[in-house]
Each structure stands twice: as structure tokens, then as C-alpha cells.
Amino acid sequence: MLAKLTFSLLNVFPMPNRLVLGRVVRHLKNQMARYFFGSCAKNSNLRPKLKLRHPKNIHIGKRSSIGDNARIIATAPVHIGDDVLMAPDVVILTDTHCINGKEKILDSGTTRKPVFIGNDVWIGTRVTILAGAEIPDGCIVAAGAVVPAKKYPPYSVIGGVPAKVIKQER
């Protein structure tokens, strides 16, 4: 409980890494995150104003950065690999509504699907990653893309609504 409170307080402050105070805030924030995330590497970078739900399901790799104002709703596991760069305002969702023929959507319920983000991935500003998405190693996701529940080839550039491969073997 104290770790969550401390993380919440530190989550408000900007973190200029060039200043000693910014590095101290980053270190303290990562230490607190390790207590209530599923896993969080010591040298990850959790930028200010994150909005997190079910953080026990969030796993963040080494040297990965989650941008300002990111929102992660992790009712199912979210695995973020090593060396991932995530720009501001990224949204990751692990819940999706079920559609059962002509049954009312409101009555159909929801289903949970995990999200996997590989190593060495760059996710642009305001990308939305939907439940069940798998972004493999080396991918670049263009700003504003909506990534549905599908697999993409490694080392590709993806973008659009819905996201599709723009270029392979970057």
C-alpha cells in the first residue's frame, strides 16, 4: 500500500534525466513499481502521469520506457520486452467485448486477451494496442495506429487503422 502511494506521488513529477533530482525520482519510482507490478526491470523508465489498472499483470523488461500519459488496462498479462521505446499517450487494453450474433453487445460480456510486445520495439505517439495483439522483435509502430489482435512479422514497420505492415525488414 505504501509503495502504491509513493509511486502515485512520484508519478506526478516530471523527470528531467539530466538533473540529479530527476534520476533520483526515476530510481525511487522504479523501486516502488517493483513491489506492485508483475515485474519491472531496475533500469526501466516509467514516465510521469501513467494510468495503470491491474499492475500485477504488467511485466516490463530492461531499458524499456513507457511514455508520459500512457494508459495500460491489464486485466490479462501485458509483456513489454527489453529496449522498448513507448511514446506519450499510448493505450494498451486487454479487455474486449464479445459479439455473439444478434445478441445485444451489452449482454454479451467481455473477454480478456494478453498483449505481447517484443524486444527493440518503438511505439509512436497515441498508438492504441488492443487485446490479443502481438508485436514481435524489432517492429516500429507508426503514430496513431490501432493495433488489433493479430501477429506481425518481426522487424517490420506497421501503421494505420487498423494497423497493417507498411514495410518489412526495416
Indicate which residues carry an active-site annotation. 97
In 3D space, the residue among 78, 86, 3 whose CA is nearest the CA of residue 39 turns out to be 78
Query: Which residue type sits at 116?
Result: F
Distance CA 126, CA 124 (A): 7
The residues near 5 (Cβ < 8 Å, ≥ 6 apart) are none
Distance CA 7, CA 123 (A): 24
Among left, alpha and beta (phi > 0; psi -120 to 50; other), residue 142 is beta
Cell numbers describing residue 136 = 514481435
Hey, which residues does 79 pair with through a beta bridge?
59, 116
